[in-house]
Structure 1
Amino acid sequence: MIEIKGKHNRAVCYADDLEKTAKDQITTLCDLEIFSDSKIRIMPDVHAGAGCTIGTTMTINYIVVPNMVGVDIGCGIETVKIENKTIDFDKLDYLVRREIPSGRDIRKTPHESNKEIDLSMLKCKDNVDLHRGRLSIGTLGGGNHFIEVGKDKEGKLNIAVHSGSRNIGFQVARYYQNAGFRVLKNKIKSYSKAKTKSSKNKMLNNIPKDLAFVEGELFHDYLNDMGIMQKYADINRKAIMSIIIEKMNLKPVDRFSTIHNYIDIENMILRKGAVSAKLNEKFLVPINMRDGSLVCIGKGNSDWNYSAPHGAGRVLSRTQAFKNLSLKDYKSEMSSVYSTTVGQDTLDEAPMAYKSMEYISRMIEPTAEIIDRIVPIYNFKAAE
């Protein structure tokens, strides 16, 4: 555990070590007066991110920084256990490539799940591409998003789909972050014109663009739109899963969802790259595409903000992974998993780019009980 103290707050980081960039980001957070009342807890998968660290959890009240929720609002994993004993991976891979657009691709026609959501209810609807949003339901995306089949400790097959709110989620996040920054600049300008040297003016001047916040009407509009994007991301994952289940004639016997990059409205806890771990709550922690995922039950630890890591966390940035890892080693490490996407384009997702399963298992003991492990036998992951 590492404690980081700033000018106006302190953060507890549940990790053995911390890279300098991540530490600097957390310190900046604790230096800002606007977060003086927040309870900041950083998860073991911590690493530097855009604006703030991945693995950040914090209580909020009347303001929020859209960047701290992230651009992939409501990203998460849909996990389904199936009755089927085997899956034809050649057939599955062909299906995924033919019917589930990945990377930056979108559908040619809207998926039927569009009827489950009304994007015109977005407060920022005039500033985002609703048409592209409708064509993106049922699409995977790239980066660390994946479709995976694995076996649990009983040998049962489980399918996991990791995806989020796609480009429309990015547009919503960008709109509110820019709106917050415009308001911040105008406030600073008005104070300067009035030649006001108040503590409020000094506080606002200390806020970097990445941490510009929304409050008042913008705050409530953001919460509304974040909720819609969270629902959108969930519908997107379920649409992908329905395509796989229906076309492959699979029989689901159990399922659960795990989300990150959102605000838990009930408890007003922001989670960026972190998941809810309330008492007896079931969630999935994916480690890497070789070692698979941990199935966990939350312990309801309030000191952890009722949270757990959303994954293993990177030890190498994407740039570092492309530069330092070898394709030969990557292919060797993935030899036990059926995958047609192990190649130079996805080298940044190699198992060696992430923290180990042993480390995460040890670190999450206070907040989660590990009840199972799902070991991959099939993986599809597209380049960004």
Structure 2
Amino acid sequence: MPVKIVLNKNAQQGSVPVKIYTDEIEPQALQQLKNIAQLPIVHSHVAAMPDVHLGKGATVGSVIPTVDAVIPSAVGVDIGCGMNAVRTSLHAHQLPDNLKALREAIEVKVPIGQGRHKMISARESACKLLAPGVDRLFEKHPGLLKRLHQPQKTWVTQMGTLGGGNHFIEICLDENNAVWVMLHSGSRGVGNAIGQHFIQLARKDMAGHIRNLPDKDLAYFSEGNHHLDDYIEAVSWAQEYARVNREEMMRLVLNCLKNFLPKFTLTSEVINCHHNYVMRERHFEQDIFITRKGAISAKKDQLGIIPGSMGAKSYIVRGRGIAESFHSCAHGAGRKMSRSAARQRFTRQDLEEQTRGVQCRKDKGVIDEIPAAYKDIDQVMDNQSDLVEVEHTLRQVICIKG
């Protein structure tokens, strides 16, 4: 679809445009985007992906380019949240007729919700690589320790765990009935602690200027503030933790599959991408920070993952490298209804009907993740056909929610 350009006519001089890849956007989310566009640190324009919706701190589905500054609340507390997917040599006919036992076995191997591993040695090699970085963070920022229960152990025992909310593990089939494993998670408790710590520091640093901000959640660190360098170091570590966490979960899931399925191999398509992060990149002939809040990188020929809701299709895509979107695209279907509204509106029977054919929880604890609470993934994909091309279309047969 043509990009919709919104100009903030009542904003202060210097406000940049907002370029939106959908006509479906709630007024509150649009106002959030306008608020971001007023900040003097924003470069060129703000881009909003087709799955855009109201978020905490900043709009989910937004791509925010900033010059020599970063907004911690825009990155949020689930730092490095993203997707991991692999295609196996298995096909649908090799799966067991009853998938419940396989789902339950995966739930035992990979702790979900608030669960964590009891044995810290299981992921020792992965944690050993990350240990020096987190030790430096705890030394430089003792306030982080107060935000974590048993901080030195928490980040280790949560390695290779799913978490809650919309995080998931799925077994999927593509258009050729090949079996894929796909999962969604982030940096767990330690990433949350880092996010909250630096969000509060940014608000404290800007205490004298907070009235000049369109939203207190948009407090930022700018060049010359030592907290900016500290934050970039911390957020980079959390993003790496999130990436490794997904790899560890994937390893655990694949090992579990070996106990139920014929011998298999992995194809060359192994994808691990963030959709909640900040990176230094070059756009429009300038080196800037790019914050993708619910968006993935879609550089030319780069593979990415765009999941639908539980019960809907998901897509493996290849980026087209479009400059206007800052080489970005949507990260999923995007919510169209809050969790509380979904719980009030839908019943367990509704959940069972909308997830028919998928082996998953169908209890009231996951009603807020019902497919009807999300946007139509096909419409999202239509709206970003200029940004990505579809490589594979997936449908889940097992879905494990946190």
Normalising by structure 1, what TM-score? 0.91
Query: Which of 38, 44, 59 is the matching residue for 1:31?
Result: 38
Q: Secondary structure at the match of 1:104?
A: coil
Code of the residue aligned with 2:340 in structure 1: it is T
CA distance in 2, matches of 1:125, 1:109: 27
Alignment of 1:244-255 (within 5 A): 244-249=253-258, 250-254=264-268, 255=270
Find out whether 1:70 has 2:62 as its counterpart. Answer: no
Give distance in 1, aligned partners of 2:101 and 2:88: 17
Query: 1:353 pairs with 373, 379, 383, which one?
Result: 373
Could you tell me how far apart the structure 1 residues matched to 2:206 and 2:152 are? 28
Q: 2:22 maps to which residue?
A: 15
Give the superposition deviation at 1:212. 0.9
What displacement does 1:204 show?
5.7
1:5 maps to amino acid: L
Secondary structure of 1:223 counterpart: helix
Unaligned runs of 5+ in 2: 146-150, 259-263, 283-288
- Quick check: 1-10 or 325-334, which moved more? 1-10
Per-residue deviation, 1:96: 2.1
Shift of 1:322: 0.7
2-side partners of 1:121 and 1:39: how far apart? 36
Q: Which moved more, 1:156-165 or 1:267-276?
A: 267-276
Which residue is equivalent to 2:103?
93
Instruction: Return 5+ residue gaps in structure 1 as ranges.
Output: 189-200
Distance 1:56 1:15 in 2: 12
Deviating above 6 A after TM superposition, structure 1's stretches of 4 or more consecutive aligned residues are: none
Of residues 211, 220, 241, the one that matches 1:232 is 241
Task: Give 2:160's aligned residue.
Answer: 138
Query: Contact (CA 8 Å) 1:130, 1:168: kept in 2 or not?
Result: no
Using the aligned pairs only, state the percent identity.
28
1:1-39, Cα deviation, whole Å (9 max, x unpaired)? 43332322221111112111101211211233343x342
Contact 1:150 1:292 in 2 (8 A): no
Aligned equivalents of 1:63, 1:375: Cα separation in 2: 40
Partner of residue 191, structure 1: none
Asked if 1:117 is matched to 2:130, the reply is: yes
- After superposition, what is the alpha-carbon deviation per residue over 1:254-277, rounded to whole angstroms, capped at 9, x for unaligned? 311121111132333210000000
CA distance in 1, matches of 2:163, 2:185: 7
Given the superposition, is the C-alpha separation of residues 66 and 325 from structure 1 closer, same or farther in structure 2, using an over 3 Å criterion? same
Pairs aligned (count): 365
Once the 2 structures are TM-superposed, how far is the Cα of residue 99 of structure 1 from its aligned partner?
2.1
What does residue range 182-201 of structure 1 map to in structure 2 within 5 Å? 182-185=204-207, 188=208
Q: Distance in 1 between matches of 2:213 and 2:237?
A: 32
Q: How many Å separate the matches in 2 of 1:336 and 1:298?
A: 31
CA contact (8 A) 1:245 1:251 kept: no
Q: 2:275 aligns with which of 234, 239, 260?
A: 260
**Per-residue Cα deviation, 1:144-197 (whole angstroms, up to 9, x for no partner):** 100001111111000001110011111101111100111111xx2xxxxxxxxx
CA RMSD of aligned residues (A): 1.7
Corresponding position of 1:331: 352
Task: Quote the Cα distance in structure 1 between the aligned partners of 2:213 and 2:278.
Answer: 25
- TM-score, normalised with respect to structure 2: 0.87
Identify the match of residue 397 of structure 2 among 374, 377, 383.
Answer: 377
The reply to whether residue 104 of structure 1 matches residue 125 of structure 2 is no
